[in-house]
Structure 1
Amino acid sequence: MTSTTLTAALPAGHRERLMSLAHDVSFATGSRLFEEGQHADRFWIVRTGTVALDLHVPGRRAAVVETLGHGELVGWSWHFPPYVWHLGAEAASPVRAWEFDAAAVRSLCERDPEFGRAVACWVGQVAARRLHAARVRLLDLYAPYGSGER
């Protein structure tokens, strides 16, 4: 599967345009970045540390479906209406990240169709990968014989 890290996903010129909108943030271990079902108005790229993505499972603890690290995009729901988080996210270790205002990035995508297409392809690849990871993880946890993938 194609790498979805920022450096692999976007050409240098597009990365520079995106990074012009970034600002530094940090999260302590255990901090919630967002909750499933809330409004998705920002996203992050991990600089250091790890972020666990989780999925609400009725009657059980939230299931961690993927852990993200350096260079990875945290959050894709900001790119697709109705802009609501499909997963939750928590800092699994101290995290430093670049944070982006979703509306500002969407506006830049609208003004520059080439940039917008590159971002849409990147975010789409991330969404597809996360969907697959969630499916595999939930089958491993709850199906009688697991997912069959190892």
Structure 2
Amino acid sequence: MPGQPLGGGGGEGDAGDVRAVDSSYGAEKGETYAGREREMTGVITRGGVLAALPADHLDPLMNLAREVSFPAGVRIIEEGSRADRFWVIRSGSVALDIRVPGRRAATVEEIGAGELLGWSWLLPPRHWHLGAEAESEVWAYEFDGPAVRALCEKDPVLGMALAIEVADAIAQRLMASRTRLLDLYGPNGSGPKW
């Protein structure tokens, strides 16, 4: 239901003011993702994490998705809290930030449509390594981490493809964090020279 807050009571690791748009891809009606109109086809075909996954393995993953939205300014992820879900951004932008002792959080990267928000759900200890805040209204597909891990165990082709996408996101976030922190706090000229 649009505009309805999700359950969970705002406990540790819960996203901020998240609104469920549709609890899943028609699961209550017996529909599957494959059986519905693919209004999100553009997100898949434009690139991003969903485009990189094998098409014949995408339907089971998308059957676990639910559409959510976040108003601008809402904290989606608090660094250090429990990581039990992830999102693929449909529209809007999200600022990723890192806590810096004695200073306010430093934005290290902005992500948008088609990009993966959250990778810590996959790897122990399953706590967020960065924070995230909606820069504008964000619409996203939300996935339950434990359910996706179970699906990946059953479907190793999907599991490997998703692991590669997560590894790519980790590498990008690591480089962005390093570069941003050197820009902010490193000696002049200490950033990458490429």
TM-score (norm 2): 0.72
Q: Which moved more, 1:100-109 or 1:9-18?
A: 9-18
Aligned to 2:164: 121
Aligned to 1:147: 191
2:54–2:158 CA contact under 8 A, matched in 1? no
1:25 aligns with 2:82: no
Determine the C-alpha separation between the residues in 2 that align with 1:91 and 1:63: 15
> Which has the larger helix fraction?
1
1:9 aligns with 2:66: no
Aligned to 1:84: 127
Q: Rg larger in 1 or in 2?
A: 2
Per-residue displacement from partner, 1:56-112 (whole Å, max 9, x unpaired)?
A: 000111000000000000000001011000000000000000000000000001111
Determine the C-alpha separation between the residues in 2 that align with 1:14 and 1:90: 30
How far off is 1:18 after superposition?
1.7
Distance 1:97 1:149, change over 3 A: farther
For 1:17, give the aligned amino acid. Answer: P
- Percent identity reads 58
For 1:85, give the aligned amino acid. Answer: W
Consecutive aligned runs of 4 or more in structure 1 exceeding 4 Å deviation: none
Per-residue displacement from partner, 1:112-139 (whole Å, max 9, x unpaired)?
A: 1111111111111111111111000100
Aligned to 2:141: 98
User: Across the two proteins, how many residue pairs are aligned to each other?
Assistant: 147
Q: RMSD of the alignment, in Å? A: 1.5
Determine the C-alpha separation between the residues in 2 that align with 1:133 and 1:15: 29
Structure scoring higher RCO (CA < 8 A, sep ≥ 6) equals: 1
Residue pairs, 1:54-65, within 5 angstroms:
54-65=97-108
